[in-house]
Amino acid sequence: MNTKVLIELIGYLGSALVVVSMLMTSVVKLRIVNTVGSAIFMGYALVIGSYPTAVMNFFLIAINVWHLIRLLRDHKEYDLIETRLGDSFVSYFLEKNLQDIRTFFPDFNPEELSGDAVFLICCSGQPASLFIGKSAAAGTLEIALDYAAPVYRDTSAGRYLCGQLKKRGFKTLVFRGDAPRHIPYMESIGYRRNAKDAYVLDLTKAD
């Protein structure tokens, strides 16, 4: 492979990362991937002598870094609201986010939803996530749904929820559903896969 082709491939890689970042629902991930893509494309622009393109990407990087610092420094204040299935706002939240929910939980069917532990997490008065669980053995909740709105997928809402459930005497969370796109989020919270292919979080050991 000659140098010219390699340089072109690097340019395509930078462009691809910028485009892919626009498809991400997590604002933090979008900014990170967009920054990497812009940095690669800026290097490509400098090599081929396209200085206006390089300058534009430099400012895109600066803007992304500024927003990332703000996002990571912002301290979110959450509130936990204990509610129930059938509550009008819970029904509205599920309906409003149904398409996005099914992106992460393909088999989700609101008509078949059941659970006796329903919690809505709000941030500054705005609904951030919804947790629906079924009581199993003492201190154990079987998760029917654990969904966070796009802006709150930085795990902060999830960690807050875990702390609140622990205070309420729950010891273990178990998820058995088919949700491959949700697995990385759960693993970042601390869930571990057991021998029965369920994902389990020990709240007594959670931060």
The residue among 73, 101, 135 that closes a domain is 73
The set of residues, in sequence order, having a beta carbon less than 8 Å from that of 171 and lying 6+ positions away, is 139, 140, 202, 203, 204
Structure-token match 């178990």, residue found: 174
Domain that holds residue 43: 3-73
The arithmetic mean of pLDDT across residues 44-63, rounded, is: 90
Task: List pLDDT tens digits, range 149-183.
Answer: 887 877 888 889 999 999 999 999 999 888 888 98
Structure-token match 């705005």, residue found: 126
Q: Are residues 129 and 165 in the same domain?
A: yes
pLDDT at 15: 86
Quickly state the pLDDT bin for 75 (edges 50, 70, 90): low
Q: Are residues 92 and 33 in the same domain?
A: no
Q: Are residues 65 and 141 in the same domain?
A: no
Which burial class, exposed, middle or buried, applies to 54 when counting CB atoms under 10 A from its CB (0-12, 13-18, 19+)? middle
Taking the C-alpha atoms of residue 200 and residue 97, their distance in angstroms, rounded to an integer, is: 25
| Residue 207 covered by a domain | no
Q: Are residues 64 and 82 in the same domain?
A: no
Q: Are residues 26 and 39 in the same domain?
A: yes
Task: List pLDDT tens digits, range 3-39.
Answer: 877 878 888 888 888 888 888 767 778 888 899 989 9
| Residue 84 covered by a domain | yes
Quickly state the pLDDT bin for 185 (edges 50, 70, 90): confident
Domain count of the chain? Answer: 2
Q: Are residues 117 and 165 in the same domain?
A: yes
Least confident range from 42-56, 92-106, 192-206: namely 192-206
C-alpha pair distances (Å), 177 with each of 8, 110, 124, 166, 181: 43, 14, 31, 22, 11
Taking the C-alpha atoms of residue 151 and residue 32, their distance in angstroms, rounded to an integer, is: 15
The residue among 73, 97, 127 that closes a domain is 73
